[in-house]
């Protein structure tokens, strides 16, 4: 695939994420529809043709769903595509039957059919929703959107901006999504990377802000395989939440922000730019920095910066898992190109169209990787014996990494493990049901890196 060289930088019109509030709670009213459908979108810069994408409600990304903490999200999902699909609500501590995993928690919704999603959102934070049926193709074609659960007491910021980072693999002539969804190179190496990178469905997103304005930035990595490494220019502040979950105290933002596929980070930043532009920049594979989001400065909101913000209010059930009582488990991650799996084993894997194994199995398979008792604390060692990074995502429950000296890290739902790395995560199995544990580099998930656990 040749790389995509836009002829000029252009701000694309008409594709912004429109905020739609989800009305909560009226059991006797029909749920608001959420419709999967094809639509044309101007992903590529002006001058290129529009791209046919698979969308929610005709928008790219899908409509921004916003609701208050401890209310219900009710949506009648309508499938107007010509393939089966389903919706996963990523990072929500959800009732299992609503988790949207075709073949595990529900049947895929057939073309022309509908499915009512109705669930409580117990935790405030930044989440997202995306297809979970042939997700490598369906997410790459556009089926994702932001899901924002608002705190009862909102933090003191002037604005709240959701930034969905994504990439698309487009044919450089026609600007259509390249349909090579079973490319062995993607499946066996780093996954499916796009050749056009953008934010909120646009190639070169630009915002405006005033000096000393305080913004909450909710960054969501919706890409199939790309880990974004970002740095701020003319914006400075604090990291306040990871994968939706608030941190006990705001932490100064690291020099480089690393966001693996499916991960989120919430920042509270002040506009400190001395000139007329601030920005979020992205590190390229060539070690150069590129503009990801530009921020044009239009005057000043005040004369001085404000004090350090308060921490976000904690979510319910953020208590630490009991390591002393925890059941130890180990999952080896093996396979892929250059990974040292014996050739005979690799050959038989490839005969079934797979390239990777989790815990010795190219999944999804029966029985589950583990059966856990409700309320049981678990510590799971993940051993990455491959030559690639992976973004391991557990459905239904957040976990914490076990760090040096049995210290526990922040709550997350997706962990980036680099080639050759070892990590240990711990969680309390407090949500009953069948939960996927898979790589969120979606080509890897399609090629064997899909396991599941059962909590009962």
In degrees, rounded to 5, the angle at the alpha carbon of residue 215 between the alpha carbons of residues 211 and 216 is 165
The token duo for 48 is 């290129």
**Closest approach of Cβ 21 to Cu ion, in Å?**
35
Per the CB < 8 A criterion, the answer to whether 198 and 254 are in contact is: no
**In the numeric block, which tokens belong to residue 433?**
């049901």
Neighbours of 319 (CB within 10 A): 9
Q: Which stretch binds Cu ion (CB under 5 A): 78-86, 118-126, 357-365, 431-439?
A: 431-439
Q: Which two tokens stand for residue 40?
A: 């044309």
Q: What mask, x for binding Cu ion by CB under 5 A, covers residues 391 to 430?
A: ----------------------------------------
Here's the x/- map for Cu ion, 341-380, by CB under 5 A: it reads as ----------------------------------------
x/- contact string, 437-456, with Cu ion (CB under 5 A)?
--x-x--x------------
Percentages of the chain per state (helix, strand, coil), in multiples of 5: 5, 45, 45
Nearer to Cu ion, 207 or 441 (CB): 441
Q: Which has the closest alpha carbon to 2: 191, 174, 142, 164?
A: 174
- CB-wise, 54 or 388, nearer to Cu ion? 388
Least Å distance, CB 409 to Cu ion, is 20
Give the H or E element holding residue 128: strand 125-131
Segment near Cu ion (CB under 5 A); pick from 101-109, 337-345, 382-390, 398-406: 382-390
Judged by CB under 5 A, which stretch of 36-44, 86-94, 305-313, 385-393 contacts Cu ion? 385-393
Q: Which stretch binds Cu ion (CB under 5 A): 205-213, 216-224, 247-255, 388-396?
A: 388-396
Q: How far apart are CA 220 and CA 262, in angstroms?
A: 7
390 binds Cu ion (CB under 5 A): yes
To Cu ion, the closest distance from the beta carbon of 53 in angstroms equals 24
Q: What is each CA distance from 205 to 11, 39, 218, 240, 319, in whole angstroms?
A: 6, 20, 15, 23, 39
Q: List, in order, residues 6 or more apart from 86 with CB less than 8 Å away.
A: 77, 100, 101, 102, 106, 108, 109, 115, 131, 132, 133
Q: How far is the CB of 157 from Cu ion (least distance, A)?
A: 35
Peptide bond into 219 cis (omega under 30): no
Shorter beta-carbon distance to Cu ion: residue 190 or 198: 190
The DSSP letter of residue 348 is H
**For Cu ion, how many residues bind (rule: CB under 5 A)?**
4
Q: How many CB atoms lie within 10 A of CB 436?
A: 22
The C-alpha atoms of residue 226 and residue 96 are separated, in whole angstroms, by: 28
Residue number with CB closer to Cu ion (88 or 444): 444
53 versus 394: smaller Cβ distance to Cu ion:
394
Distance (Å, whole) CA 278 – CA 128: 26
Q: What is the largest CA-CA distance in the chain?
A: 68
Nearest distance, CB of residue 370 and Cu ion, angstroms: 20
Of 233 and 387, nearer to Cu ion (C-beta) is: 387
- Alpha-carbon distance 452 to 132, whole Å? 14
Q: How far is the CB of 441 from Cu ion (least distance, A)?
A: 4
To the nearest whole angstrom, how small is the minimum distance from the Cβ of residue 387 to Cu ion? 11
Q: Tell how far CA 283 is from the center of its chain.
A: 19
CB of 455 to Cu ion, least distance (A): 24
Q: Between residue 243 and residue 272, which ones bind Cu ion under the rule CB under 5 A?
A: none
Q: Identify residues 288-327 at the interface with Cu ion (CB under 5 A).
A: none
DSSP H/E element including 34: strand 32-41
CB of 58 to Cu ion, least distance (A): 31
The distance of closest approach from Cβ of residue 445 to Cu ion in the complex, given in angstroms and rounded to an integer, is: 7
The beta strand positions in 385-421, using DSSP E, are 390-394, 399-402, 408-412, 414-417
Q: Which helix (H) or strand (E) holds 228?
A: strand 228-233
For the CB of residue 357, give the shortest distance to Cu ion in the complex, in Å: 12
Query: Of the listed pieces 172-180, 196-204, 273-281, 384-392, which binds Cu ion according to CB under 5 A?
Result: 384-392
CB nearer to Cu ion: pick between 437 and 441: 441
Q: Are the C-beta atoms of residues 426 and 402 closer than 8 Å to each other? A: yes
Q: Which residue, 441 or 451, has its beta carbon nearer to Cu ion?
A: 441
- Nearer to Cu ion by Cβ, of 390 and 398: the residue is 390
Do the Cβ atoms of 265 and 257 come closer than 8 Å? Answer: yes
In the complex with Cu ion, which residue's Cβ is closer, 216 or 444?
444
187 near Cu ion (CB under 5 A): no
282 binds Cu ion (CB under 5 A): no
First to last CA, the chain: 46
Nearer to Cu ion, 189 or 444 (CB): 444
Nearer CB in complex with Cu ion: 341/441: 441
The least distance separating Cu ion from the CB of residue 390, rounded to whole angstroms, comes to 3
| Residues of the shown chain interacting with Cu ion in the complex, contacts defined by CB under 5 A | 390, 439, 441, 444
């Amino acid at each position: 695939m040749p790389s995509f060289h836009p002829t000029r930088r252009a701000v694309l019109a008409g594709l912004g994420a429109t905020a739609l509030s989800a009305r909560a709670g009226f059991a006797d009213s029909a749920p608001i529809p959420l419709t999967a459908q094809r639509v044309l979108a101007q992903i590529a810069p002006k001058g290129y043709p529009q791209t046919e994408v698979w969308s929610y409600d005709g928008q790219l990304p899908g409509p921004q769903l916003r609701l208050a903490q401890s209310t219900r999200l009710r949506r009648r999902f309508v499938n107007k595509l010509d393939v089966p699909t389903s919706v996963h609500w990523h990072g929500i501590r959800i009732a299992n039957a609503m988790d949207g995993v075709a073949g595990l928690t529900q049947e895929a919704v057939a073309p022309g059919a509908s499915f009512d999603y109705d669930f409580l959102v117990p935790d405030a934070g930044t989440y997202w929703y995306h297809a979970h049926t042939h997700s490598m193709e369906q997410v790459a074609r556009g089926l994702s959107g932001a899901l924002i659960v608002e705190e009862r007491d909102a933090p003191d910021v002037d604005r709240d901006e959701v930034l969905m980072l994504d990439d698309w693999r487009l044919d450089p002539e026609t600007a259509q999504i390249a349909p090579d969804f079973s490319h062995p190179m993607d499946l066996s190496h780093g996954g499916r990377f796009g050749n056009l990178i953008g934010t909120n469905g646009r190639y070169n997103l630009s915002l405006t802000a005033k000096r000393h304005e305080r913004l909450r930035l909710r960054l969501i990595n919706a890409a199939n395989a790309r880990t974004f490494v970002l740095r701020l220019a003319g914006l400075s502040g604090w990291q306040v939440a990871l994968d939706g979950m608030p941190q006990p105290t705001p932490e100064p933002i690291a020099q480089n922000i690393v966001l693996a596929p499916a991960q989120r980070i919430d920042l509270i930043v002040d506009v400190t730019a001395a000139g007329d532009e601030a920005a979020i920049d992205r590190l390229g594979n060539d070690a150069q920095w590129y503009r990801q989001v530009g921020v044009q400065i239009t005057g000043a909101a005040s004369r001085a910066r404000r004090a350090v913000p308060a921490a976000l209010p904690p979510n319910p059930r953020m208590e630490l898992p009991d390591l002393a009582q925890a059941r130890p488990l180990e999952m080896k991650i093996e396979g892929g190109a250059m990974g040292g799996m014996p050739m005979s084993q690799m050959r038989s894997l490839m005969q079934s169209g797979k390239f990777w194994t989790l815990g010795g199995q190219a999944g999804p398979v029966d029985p589950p990787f583990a059966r856990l008792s409700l309320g049981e604390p678990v510590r799971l060692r993940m051993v990455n014996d491959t030559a690639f990074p992976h973004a391991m995502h557990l459905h239904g429950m957040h976990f914490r990494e076990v760090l040096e000296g049995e210290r526990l890290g922040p709550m997350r739902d997706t962990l980036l493990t680099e080639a050759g790395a070892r990590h240990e995560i711990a969680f309390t199995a407090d949500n009953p049901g069948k939960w996927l544990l898979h790589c969120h580099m979606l080509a890897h998930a399609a090629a064997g890196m899909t396991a599941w656990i059962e909590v009962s």
